[in-house]
Amino acid sequence: MSSATLSPAAAKTDAPIPLRAHLRHTGALIRRNLLWIRQDPESMFDAILFPVIFTLLFVYVFGGSIGQSLGGGQDRYVQYVIPGLLAMMGMNMAQGVGTGFNTDFNSGVMDRFRSLPIGRGSVLFAKISVELLRMLFATVVLLVVALLVGYDVHSWSGLVASVALSAVFGSALMWVFLTLGVIMKSAQSVQAMGFLVLMPLQFGSSIFAPTASMPGWLQAFTDYNPLSTLADAARGLMEGGAVGRPLWVTLIWSVGLTAVMAPVAIHKFRTKS
């Protein structure tokens, strides 16, 4: 199709958009998404229930036995698992953004956005911004439950740094799921793909249990598993341990995923028919 046959709206959409306009569009879309959550409060159930269920499940089902292997009991396991669960917040919110994005496409919402003279990236940045706010809300719920089950905060500054690191990695992972949300045919497909990818990363890590008793080949995998390094970095920051290597590996993963997947997600969004 030649440029002469494009509609005025399409021509405006393809024209370069200034940075200030991008920011204004992103802000408007963030407000739109927040208003949608206000109208559909059930969409917050995962952010509320996930940290509650996982904390109670792992502390009271596995806390005694794994805590003994750590040289203590259930109280010792609480100190171990809470930073790991904090590392999971970004992962679970990332999977949700992919399914929600796919649902918006199938319902025609995204077709409407793409017909407007707004920056294509604004739609994606707004999605990620709202999901980060949901992640922070889920983190607050997690910390409230953690304090109730006996978690002792050794460093509040380390806690804030751990939340920030989890948000950085979570936002990087969201670009992966936004891409899946565009290219997969249904929300169920996005969810299934996320399960197949994230389940081995989640349980093949140091989130729930130490890796020392794992087979050698699995320990080698956990050494570079970003969820494992994120959990270890969070423990170091919150408990006062070593953070150097886990922190840098997590940041490298975050930068790498964002640098590769953000352009791919925006391109797929622009060209999806």
pLDDT of residue 183: 87
At 166, is the secondary structure helix, strand, or coil?
Answer: helix
Look at residue 105 and tell me if it is in a domain: yes
pLDDT of residue 117: 66
**264 vs 212, which has greater pLDDT?**
264
Structure tokens at 271: 């060209």
Look at residue 2 and tell me if it is in a domain: no
CA angle, 154 as apex, 152 and 155 as ends, to 5°? 135
Look at residue 4 and tell me if it is in a domain: no
User: Distance between CA 246 and CA 222 in Å, rounded?
Assistant: 11
CA dihedral angle for residue 68, residue 143, residue 149, residue 229, rounded to 10 degrees = -10
pLDDT of residue 10: 41
Least confident of 7-16, 129-138, 225-234: 7-16
How many Cβ atoms from other residues are within 10 Å of residue 112's Cβ?
10
pLDDT of residue 70: 82
Q: Which domain holds residue 86?
A: 17-271
Total domains present in the chain? 1
Q: Which amino acid type is present at position 240?
A: G
State mean pLDDT over 200-227. 87
Look at residue 66 and tell me if it is in a domain: yes
Compute the half-sphere exposure of residue 261: CA atoms within 13 Å on the CB side of its CA: 21
pLDDT of residue 8: 42
* Most confident listed range (4-8, 163-167, 203-207): 163-167
Residue with tokens 């698992």: 81
SS3 content of the chain, % helix, strand, coil (to 5): 80, 0, 20
At 184, is the secondary structure helix, strand, or coil?
Answer: coil
Look at residue 183 and tell me if it is in a domain: yes
Look at residue 209 and tell me if it is in a domain: yes
Q: How confident is the model at residue 15 (pLDDT cuts 50, 70, 90)?
A: low
Least confident of 60-64, 226-230, 240-244: 240-244
Q: Where are the beta strands (DSSP E) in the chain?
A: none
Residue with tokens 């010792």: 76
Query: Would you say residue 137 has pLDDT above 50?
Result: yes
State mean pLDDT over 136-164. 92
Q: pLDDT tens across 33-56, in order?
A: 788 788 877 778 888 888 899 899
Look at residue 32 and tell me if it is in a domain: yes
Look at residue 211 and tell me if it is in a domain: yes
CA angle, 179 as apex, 100 and 272 as ends, to 5°? 90
Fill in the DSSP letter of residue 43: G
pTM value is 0.84
Q: CA dist 258 to 17, 218, 265, Å? A: 22, 26, 10
